[in-house]
Each structure stands twice: as C-alpha cells, then as structure tokens.
Amino acid sequence: HVEALEILLQGLCGVHRDRLRIHELCLKSVPNLGSVSSEVRLLCDLEQSEPTWTVRHIGGAIKGAGAEQISVLVRNMAESKVSKMALRLFYALGYKLDRELLRVGFAFHFNKGAHITVSVSSINKMLKLHATDEAVPLTPGLQLVEVTAPASPENYTEVAAAVSSFCEYLAPLLHLSKPNVPTGVVPTAAAAAASLMSDGGGTTL
Amino acid sequence: MPIKWILHWQPNAGATVNTQIHTELSQCAESLNGVKEGRWKATLSFYRAMVREQANANEFPRDFLGISLVEQPTKYYLVIRGQRLVVEAESSIQMIMEKLQSYKMRVALNFEGNQYQLGDFRLRVGKVVLAHSEGLRGIVMEMEYLPISSWEKSHQIMGEFFDLWQEALSKSSLPGHFVHIEPNFSEFGLSDQYTSQHTAVQYATIMAQMISTAQSVQRN
C-alpha cells in the first residue's frame, strides 16, 4: 500500500518526494530540575550530507469544545536549528535520554491551502544506544502516515480545514485521524492500491 | 568570517572603571583616524536552574549563558564555559528555554558602544551595563581584522595592532589596561576558521574573568 500511496501523493502534490531518515532523541529533565518535569526533542536529519540538528518542544494541544469540533490535532510547537553540541549541552543542563527512535521513509512538502507536509515512515527502535545502523521496526509491516502544517493562533482553523480537506483525497487508500485515535485499514485499500499500481496514478479514485 | 579578539578592561589595583575611561578610549580610536561607523551591541544573559531541592542546586551548571550578537540577528548562542560547550541556535531557542521552565534568565548584561573602521581593522569600544540600568560594570573592546579568517594566521598581525593600540593608549595614562585571554577553541570543538561561536566563547571567557576579578576585589 505504501508504494500506491506514494504514487497517489506524487500525483496530488506535484512535487518530488524527499527521503526521510531522522534520528529522534526524546530528553526528559532529571527529577530535581524545574517545578514540573519537562521534555525536549532533538532531531538529527541523517539524509543530509552533514547531519543537521533541530531542537523541538511540543506543547499542549488546544482544548475545549472548539477543539473537539476540529478533526485535526492543534498543538503548540517551537523549533530551532542547532549546532552539533546541542545534545551534550542538554545533557549538561540536566536532561537525560528517555527514548530514541529512527524514522525512515519519505515526505512530500507542498502548498494546498496551507504549507502541508505528508510523511510516510516506519518507526524503528535501536538495539544499542544511538546505533542507527542497527534499527528494527517497532511495528513490522506498519507505517505511520502523518499530515502536518504550521499555523498561527490567528489562522489555525483555516489551516486545520486545509489539512482535513487534503486528507479526503487519501480516503480510498487510508483514513487519517487525530493521534491516539485508532483507525484500521479501510475496506477499499486493496482495490485502490491495485488500481494505482497498475496504471501508475492515471486513475481518478 | 574575519577573526576578532575581544578584550576586557582591567582596572589597576584600587582603581575603578568609569564612563570617563570609556570616553577616552573612544577618543583614542578616533585619534588613530578611526572612521566612526555606528553603534553596536551584544547581550549576555545568565540562566539559572530552577530546582525543587535547593540543597542539590550544585548539580546544575552555574555558568550557563545565552548570548546575542548584532552581526547575527537571527541567532542565539548558548555557552556552558566550564564544560567547554557552545551551541549556535536560532533566536527561537529562547522561546524553547522559556517553555521548558527548567532554567530562567536571571541577569542580562549589555555590551554597547561605537564602532570604528581603521584600514583593514574594525574596532568596537563598549560599555558593559546591566540591562535596564545605567551603572557601568566594565569596558570591552572588539578588535577585528577583516582580511583573515584563520585564528593562527592572524595572530602576528593582531598582536602588532594590539601593541600599536596600547602605545596610543599609554599617552592618556588611564588607570588600567586591556587584557587579552585566548580561549582554547579546540576544547569547544571549534576549528581554526573563525565563526560567531568563537565570539560567544570569548564573551563567556571575559564574563568569567570579570566575575573572578570582582570577587577578588570584594574579598580584598
């Protein structure tokens, strides 16, 4: 189904896919640090010629009745590119490695009412600390499809609508939901995938 | 990027640093036919760990600094000098640190003054003041040599220019002198090619020196 999804996305987005190989380290503050525990992620992009690092902080999701009405998750996120000593700096500040994983797959970045990114990846765990060359899938045979878009407090409802609307195009092949809401394989998936594979995306689903 | 020496003013024993000295230093730069180019500013902030058990506060670094430089308006530098760590980040890292709530900015210092072009050199003479306050805490000087980015290769010419500057200063009989400390950049993982991370490390080093000087003055 992944290959069929790639064909479908290629047709919808009109851009080339980017390869994805990201080592994600989740750090948590040690017990005495901060009045509440805090978590920060360091992402290392291994697809670049030189590994490039980003620090990411994921905050709380918007809550309330308005949030329930929106079919996508809206949450705060702050990011910064950082130079290579960042991991050592956070260790020195009192953060410890809580978990790490390796995402391998591909992504499409395009504009359709918002700056949308669709990534399709397998999530892998490392058998030894930081050993990205020895990673095994957490859920063999399953891939994670994520559709994300940046938004501001002023325009997030429009962005959420653009994301929802885009996801409709993927419906014959897969159903996307808010994180932690299970979906399952859609009944039309096999037929849709076969159709896409046979004529390389010429079919309108 | 051109190499830069950052020096701080060391007052003579018993002397203090004041605005008059800063004015005379600026005038000295102008007397060497320095062309005034405008103002410059750097900001250095001390971060302190927010701990639940005060007794264990020492398990966290006490020399964690955040530095912003006028020549890198979109960047922010984090330094833990005692552990030889320097990180270049985007300005958004400040928001991340705020959201984490594990460290809070306590004291901020501004380094600000005039900038002068002297041939292939650029000189910045700056006051060190506490943010939102007037009192002068120190004086720093940046000496930049525009044609060279290699720290090693620039050493001789920088030394010669520094001697020239000291000689010009000696005519004013100021109660102090500039000190140049050279950090071991390779310990910070930095190469011979000069970058703004080198500048951040020099500022962190100067800060440590100024604190140590202030503490020994207090003890005496």
Please give the ipTM for the structure prediction: 0.93
Please classify residue B9 by burial: count the beta carbons closer than 10 Å to its beta carbon, then call 0-12 exposed, 13-18 middle and 19+ buried: buried
Residue B68: its chain A contacts at CB < 8 A? none
d(CA B199, CA B182): 11
d(CA A84, CA B189): 10
pLDDT at A163: 94
Please classify residue A55 by burial: count the beta carbons closer than 10 Å to its beta carbon, then call 0-12 exposed, 13-18 middle and 19+ buried: buried
Average pLDDT on A167-187 reads 87
In CATH, the number for domain A1-199 is 2.40.320.10
Name the residue with higher pLDDT: B47 or A181.
B47
Q: Quote the DSSP letter at residue A3.
A: H
* pLDDT tens column, B2-37: 999 999 999 998 888 899 999 999 999 988 888 999
Residue ranges of domains in chain A = 1-199
The strand pair at B35-49 and B103-118 is best described as antiparallel
Average pLDDT on A35-52 reads 95
Residue A202 pLDDT exceeds 80: no
The strand pair at A52-61 and A39-45 is best described as antiparallel
Q: Does the beta-carbon distance from A40 to B50 stay under 8 Å?
A: no
Domains of chain B: 3-219 (2.40.320)
Which among B127, B154, B167, B161 is positioned nearest to B41, based on CA atoms?
B127
Q: Does the beta-carbon distance from B59 to A29 stay under 8 Å?
A: no
d(CA B4, CA B163): 15
Q: Is B88's Cβ below 8 Å from some Cβ in A?
A: yes
Residue A53 pLDDT exceeds 90: yes
pLDDT at A204: 52
* pLDDT tens column, A134-158: 999 999 988 999 999 999 989 999 9
A 57-116 → B contacts, CB under 8 A: 57, 59, 76, 78-86, 88-89, 92-95
pLDDT at B124: 96
Q: Does the beta-carbon distance from A81 to B85 stay under 8 Å?
A: no
Residue A86: its chain B contacts at CB < 8 A? 87, 89
Which regions of chain B are under pLDDT 70?
220
Q: Are B86 and B98 in contact (CB under 8 A)?
A: no
pLDDT at A160: 93
Name the residue with higher pLDDT: A178 or B55.
A178
pLDDT at B57: 81
Report the C-alpha dihedral over residues A180, A184, A185, A188, rounded to 10 degrees.
-110
**Which of B49, B50, B99 has the CB atom closest to A78's CB atom?**
B99
Question: Mapping DSSP to helix (H, G, I), strand (E, B) and coil, where does residue A8 land?
Answer: helix
pLDDT at A200: 53
* pLDDT tens column, A77-89: 999 999 999 999 9
pLDDT at B99: 95
Residue A35: its chain B contacts at CB < 8 A? 50, 52, 101
Q: Which two tokens stand for residue B151?
A: 């720290």
Kindly report the length of chain B.
Answer: 220
pLDDT at A104: 96
pLDDT at B130: 92
pLDDT at A33: 95
